[in-house]
Amino acid sequence: MTILVTGFNGKMGIEVAKKLHEQNLSFKGAVRNVEKAKRTYGNDFAFVKLDFSNRATFEEALEGVDKIFLIYPPGGKIEFYQFLKMVKEKRIKHVVYLSVKDVQFLPFIHHFKNEKLIKKLNIPYTFIRAGYFMQNLHDFLGEEIKENRRIFVPAGKGKTSFVDTRDLAEAALHAFENPADHTNKSHIITGEKAVDFYEVADLMTSILGERIEYTNPTVKEFKSYMLQKGENEDFVNVVIGIHFPTKLGLAKGVTYDFEKITKSKPTPIARYIEDYKERWLRE
């Protein structure tokens, strides 16, 4: 059995790869730049090129693959339907697809369409409908936290049921290892409680030992600052869009699917901050 881990370099893919590695399960990491991945990770992992914008890469990426951990990547010109058609043709046995919590209410996002496509093509699936990643705090929110000691995002006072991508990867591992229990099912995975960004800033302050503030910018303030900083406008709009439901109080729902699947409690956000604190400390 070989699993193709798409988005290997991303916040979720790397955690799935680590779990599979720990369990000695055979897998290939799908990346756009194989040489770069080899330089970064050495020979611990096998890599294959996959660019969802380039269908010429699909055949080789799927060679010898039985199962896929599948993400829909950020960015445009993604040939996802073509990829899924080939997944079907190759009779891939199981696709664990990273979707998003509340997808059923969001018909305008890619995941809504992608879930429908996977079902329509009769591809055996498990949907991991994920809450907001804790790991965003060291990813796109990381620079402002490290350099300016502030969480800078237009999320208002809304609470979010932050989830650790290590927990999402654990759920994905269970799906791969016990397909009979997970095939053609959707799991909605969140952390154990919802918190707002003020509470996150307070937790970071006490764990890092340095004041971190949540400045709660308006959308206008956020956008003009990010654009002046040189960020791509499409990306800035995506970040605003992701946090809009939070602002409206719609991101606070907590589920117990993680506990049901793994028989363990989700990682608390304080533990995530502790584990990753080096990321925000200044040299």
Ligand X SMILES: NC(=O)c1ccc[n+]([C@@H]2O[C@H](COP(=O)([O-])OP(=O)(O)OC[C@H]3O[C@@H](n4cnc5c(N)ncnc54)[C@H](OP(=O)(O)O)[C@@H]3O)[C@@H](O)[C@H]2O)c1
Contact 67, 95 (CB under 8 A): yes
Is residue 84 within the footprint of ligand X (CB under 6 A)? no
Is residue 100 within the footprint of ligand X (CB under 6 A)? yes
Contact 80, 115 (CB under 8 A): no
- Per-residue binding letters, 115-144, with ligand X (x by CB under 6 A): ---------------x-xx--x--------
Main-chain phi, psi angles of 36, to 5 degrees? -65, -40
Quick one: 105 exposed, middle or buried, by C-beta within 10 A (0-12, 13-18, 19+)? exposed
- Among the residue ranges 48-56, 118-126, 206-214, 229-237, the one whose residues contact ligand X (CB under 6 A): 48-56
Is residue 241 within the footprint of ligand X (CB under 6 A)? no
Is residue 7 within the footprint of ligand X (CB under 6 A)? yes
Output the CA torsion sign for 198, 151, 241, 193: negative
**Amino acid identity, position 150:** R
Number of residues that bind ligand X (CB under 6 A): 24
Contact 3, 68 (CB under 8 A): yes
- Residue of 52, 58, 97, 197 that binds ligand X (CB under 6 A): 52
Task: Report the candidate in 200, 73, 195, 180 with the shortest Cα–Cα distance to residue 131.
Answer: 195
Task: Report the candidate in 85, 26, 22, 36 with the shortest Cα–Cα distance to residue 59.
Answer: 85
Residue nearer to ligand X on the CB measure, 216 or 246: 246
Is residue 103 within the footprint of ligand X (CB under 6 A)? no
Q: How far is the CB of 107 from ligand X (least distance, A)?
A: 15
β-bridge mates for residue 262, sequence order: none
- Residue of 18, 32, 85, 247 that binds ligand X (CB under 6 A): 32
- Residue of 18, 21, 66, 73 that binds ligand X (CB under 6 A): 73
Q: Greatest CA separation found in the chain?
A: 54
* DSSP 3-state of 122: coil
Q: How far is the CB of 47 from ligand X (least distance, A)?
A: 9
Is residue 70 within the footprint of ligand X (CB under 6 A)? no
Give, in degrees to the nearest 5, the angle at Cα 127 between 126 and 129: 150
- Among the residue ranges 19-27, 49-57, 194-202, 261-269, the one whose residues contact ligand X (CB under 6 A): 49-57
Is residue 11 within the footprint of ligand X (CB under 6 A)? yes
Q: How far is the CB of 114 from ligand X (least distance, A)?
A: 9
**Amino acid identity, position 215:** T
Q: How far is the CB of 95 from ligand X (least distance, A)?
A: 14
Question: Taking the CB of residue 249, how many other CB atoms lie within 10 A of it?
Answer: 13
Contact 12, 168 (CB under 8 A): yes
Is residue 21 within the footprint of ligand X (CB under 6 A)? no
Q: How far is the CB of 98 from ligand X (least distance, A)?
A: 5
- Residue of 44, 46, 64, 75 that binds ligand X (CB under 6 A): 75
Give the containing element (helix H, strand E) for 213. Answer: strand 213-214
Residue nearer to ligand X on the CB measure, 58 or 280: 58
> Which residues between 196 and 215 bind ligand X (CB under 6 A)?
none
Residues of this chain that interact with ligand X (CB under 6 A) are: 7-13, 31-32, 50-53, 71-75, 98, 100, 130, 132-133, 136
